[in-house]
Amino acid sequence: MRMNGRNVFVIGTGLTKFGEFYDRDSTSLATEALNAAINDAKIDRSSIKSAYFGSMTSNSSPHSVFSSKCLRECNMSIPYTRVEAGNASGAAAFHQAYISLASGIYDCVAVIGSEKLSDFVKNGTIEKILGSTIDYQWEYEIGATLTSLYALITKAHMREFHTTMEQLASVPVKNHKNGKENPHAQFRREIPLDRFLSAKRISDPIGRFDLATHCDGSSALILVSEEYLERNSEIKNKIPILSSEHSTDVLALHHRESLTQIKSTVTAAKKAFAKVGIEPTDIAVAEVHDAFPISEILAIEDLGFFEKGEGGNATEAGLTQLNNKISINPSGGLKARGDPFGATGIAQIVEIVEQLRGRADKRQVSEIEYGLTHNIMGTGVLAYVNIFGQEEMKQ
């Protein structure tokens, strides 16, 4: 076996619509996504030997062990693992599934991301849940929320690089424009710049409309090894996973040297690009973690698409719009698609795979060689970066 393990491919994708579904539970959403992915892969479900579920809150009482219920409804009796990495649980589950195939343990596995957040209607509940993605004892219990920590990060970036409110607001404006063309997105309408600028501030300078919404949704993928494809030559539409890397930073912002760089993103991206042997400029399309406007600006800088400090300028100048210098978040991102934590990281991969297959309709990016996904937990304690290529490429 080679140092990097076996080659791994995505052969099926499935996605529910994202939004608020008061009449449906986690099991129903996950089952819809998994069945869609199996149908898309055009394989017999008995080929799938293991499943990885990414979910942040599925151990809370109304959603306990939805993984088991989902597999039962899909008529599958296979071992499963639930992976939790806060709001990066989806990417974390994908990474574990990738390892299980690259290592030779399995030949065909399913990855399912699912979250049901519209049940938490009481004020402050989501803030408390997100408190477990930051330092719960010394940030959250002291009074910090995830939003307020991103407010500190935003102000630091504004101070250091003269990033403006208009530049920040141009991130969600662009993502809502993209989301309009995504049938799975929660919000399919454009929102003008001044709506973001004039909204009430919930944690200065972050306004009421700047956050990605915490909603319901599920996403799924079928992954196989190269050996599986050799045995099943009828399988088409296989997209290679060229690298899947993750990295870490200290949990609390007060322990970091700088607030304007997410170190975990930088190191995960470096490892991912080195493994494929390409540069950030080779990426045509990327789905990045835009939970807040500053999150996308940091991501496009830390992934190496733009110089540090240039992210705001580049976004305002339109360089990250569809089919410009690099297409960032053609799906609408977390902002317009909605953010059901565990489902997000896998929905990002679904979008990139669909882009590489040329099936993204009005959101289609032309001439893609490589696509990238980026999902982080909290303020970047964990970052996951994956690179995908065209069908004929090998790792």
Partner 1 sequence: MEPPKIWREKRQKYLALGISCKKCGKRSFPLSEYCPYCGTNDVEEYRLAETGKILYFTNVSMTSDEMAFNAPYCLGIIELNDGIKVTGQIIDCDYKDLRKGMEVKMVFRILARDGHEGLIKYGFKFTSM
Q: Which stretch binds partner 1 (CB under 8 A): 71-79, 196-204, 286-294, 356-364?
A: 196-204
190 belongs to the binding site for partner 1 (CB under 8 A): no
Contact 69, 58 (CB under 8 A): no
Residue from 127, 166, 226, 282 in contact with partner 1 (CB under 8 A): 127
> What is the closest distance, in whole angstroms, from the C-beta atom of residue 126 to partner 1 in the complex?
9
> What is the closest distance, in whole angstroms, from the C-beta atom of residue 260 to partner 1 in the complex?
11
Contact 208, 245 (CB under 8 A): no
3-class SS at 285?
A: strand
| Rounded Cα–Cα distance for residues 315 and 317 (Å) | 5
> What is the closest distance, in whole angstroms, from the C-beta atom of residue 2 to partner 1 in the complex?
35
| Rounded Cα–Cα distance for residues 288 and 147 (Å) | 18
Residues 153-182 interacting with partner 1 (rule: CB under 8 A)? 155-156, 159
For 75, half-sphere exposure in the C-beta direction (CA atoms, 13 angstrom radius) is: 6
> What is the closest distance, in whole angstroms, from the C-beta atom of residue 155 to partner 1 in the complex?
6
Q: Which is nearer to partner 1, 62 or 124 (CB)?
A: 124
Q: State the sign of the Cα–Cα–Cα–Cα dihedral 83, 87, 88, 91.
A: positive
DSSP 8-state symbol, 85: B
Residues 286-325 interacting with partner 1 (rule: CB under 8 A)? none
Q: Which is nearer to partner 1, 69 or 155 (CB)?
A: 155
> What is the closest distance, in whole angstroms, from the C-beta atom of residue 313 to partner 1 in the complex?
22
> What is the closest distance, in whole angstroms, from the C-beta atom of residue 290 to partner 1 in the complex?
19
The number of angstroms, rounded, from the C-alpha of 326 to the middle of its chain's C-alpha atoms is 17
Q: Which is nearer to partner 1, 262 or 284 (CB)?
A: 262
Q: State the sign of the Cα–Cα–Cα–Cα dihedral 188, 380, 157, 328.
A: negative
Token pair 């919930």 is at which residue? 202
Q: Which is nearer to partner 1, 214 or 363 (CB)?
A: 214
| Rounded Cα–Cα distance for residues 358 and 353 (Å) | 9
Q: Which is nearer to partner 1, 21 or 120 (CB)?
A: 120
| Rounded Cα–Cα distance for residues 114 and 220 (Å) | 9
Residue from 62, 104, 124, 358 in contact with partner 1 (CB under 8 A): 124
Q: Which is nearer to partner 1, 103 or 125 (CB)?
A: 125
Checking phi first, is residue 372 left (phi over 0); if not, alpha (psi -120 to 50) or beta? beta
Residue from 193, 229, 252, 317 in contact with partner 1 (CB under 8 A): 252
Helices 146-161 and 293-302, packing angle to 10 deg: 60
- Count Cβ atoms below 10 Å from residue 367 Cβ, excluding itself: 6
Site map (CB under 8 A) of partner 1, residues 24-53, x = contact: ------------------------------
What end-to-end distance do the CA atoms of the chain give, in Å? 13
Site map (CB under 8 A) of partner 1, residues 129-158, x = contact: --x---x-xxxxxxxxx-xx--xx--xx--
**Residues engaged in binding partner 1 (CB under 8 A):** 122-125, 127-128, 131, 135, 137-145, 147-148, 151-152, 155-156, 159, 201-205, 252-255, 259
